[in-house]
Amino acid sequence: MTDVTPGMIFTDILRNGKPEAVAWIRGNAENPQISGIVKFFQTPYSGVLIEAEIFGMPNIAAQFSSDFYAMHIHENGDCTLPFDKTGDHYNPTNEMHPNHAGDMIPIMANQGYAWLAFYDKRFMIPDIIDRSVIVHRMTDDFMTQPSGNAGEKIGCGVIRQC
């Protein structure tokens, strides 16, 4: 008999599960080619499984290129261009950066395409409904307060319950 690991359960959730919430990402005026989806799945481990697939990132034209971009959950779910109404990072416990509940792992895009999945216990899905997922032009430096010096907001999507 094989032991079942969380990774095996997460793989099954991603393959067969239905997300509890999604954010459809669209690009800003300078990056209208950006599009994608961020899905949020409940897990049996009191945490959330996040899957993101994003197309058209700025390095799309550079053959064989890889580049990192920051991704965060922001307080407000208002993706009106130029994404300046999204507020600060979601941070209900007033933590220093990068320990905000809304701080997520960096995206690595290869020639404009990015896919990633990760597990997080700092929030539950009801906590993030009607907030926004922001994709930033640069990677998060994990030091600069209050938001990691990640640069321009190039993508935004409002988190909606499914």
Q: What is the pTM of this model?
A: 0.95
Q: What is the pLDDT of residues 103-125, one digit of tens each?
A: 999 999 999 999 999 999 999 99
Residue 61: per-residue pLDDT: 83
Is residue 46 assigned to a domain?
A: yes
Residue 62: per-residue pLDDT: 82
Phi, psi of 8, rounded to the nearest 5 degrees: -65, -40
Contact 88, 72 (CB under 8 A): no
**Could you list the residue range(s) of the whole structural domain that residue 43 is in?**
6-161
DSSP letter assigned to residue 48: E
Is residue 22 assigned to a domain?
A: yes
Nearest CA among 23, 14, 15 for reference residue 42: 14
CATH code (residue 104): 2.60.40.200
Q: What is the pLDDT of residues 135-151, one digit of tens each?
A: 999 999 999 998 899 99
Q: What is the pLDDT of residues 89-103, one digit of tens each?
A: 999 999 999 999 999
Map tokens 């990774």 to a residue.
Answer: 7
Is residue 39 assigned to a domain?
A: yes
Is residue 1 assigned to a domain?
A: no
Is residue 60 assigned to a domain?
A: yes
Q: Counting runs of H as helices and runs of E as strands, what totals does the chain give?
A: 2, 9
Number of folded domains that form the chain: 1
Share of the chain above pLDDT 90, in %: 90
Q: In what order do the strands lie in the sheet with 114-120?
A: 71-74, 132-136, 153-161, 21-27, 35-42, 48-55, 114-120
Q: What 3-state DSSP class applies to 6?
A: helix
Is residue 123 assigned to a domain?
A: yes
Map tokens 């049996």 to a residue.
Answer: 44
- Residue 161: Cβ within 10 Å count: 13
